[in-house]
Amino acid sequence: MEINSLTKQFKSVRAVDDLSFTVNPGRVTGFLGPNGSGKTTTLRMLLGLMNPTSGQALI
C-alpha cells in the first residue's frame, strides 16, 4: 500500500495535508491519531469512496 502526497480539502478546511507513507506486504500496521486528524478521510480515499484533492492512494 502506498500513499503519495495525499491531500483532501473541504472548502476552507484541509482534512489531509500532503500525507505520504508505504506499508510493506505482510506487515501489521497501526493507523493512529487524535479525533479529526484525517484517519477516516484517508481510508475513504484509499478505498476509492472519496476522491483526493491531490496525490495518490494505491493498494
Per-residue pLDDT for the chain (59 aa), expressed as one digit of tens each?
Answer: 999 999 999 999 999 999 999 999 999 999 999 999 999 999 999 999 999 999 999 88
The overall pTM is greater than 0.85: yes
Largest Cα–Cα separation, the chain: 38
Going by the DSSP 8-state scheme, the letter that residue 23 receives in this structure is -
Domains, the chain, in order of start with CATH, read: 2-58 (3.40.50.300)
b/e 13-40 (16+ beta carbons within 10 angstroms → b): eebbeebeeeeeeeeeeeeeeeeeebee
Run of H or E residues at 20 = strand 13-22
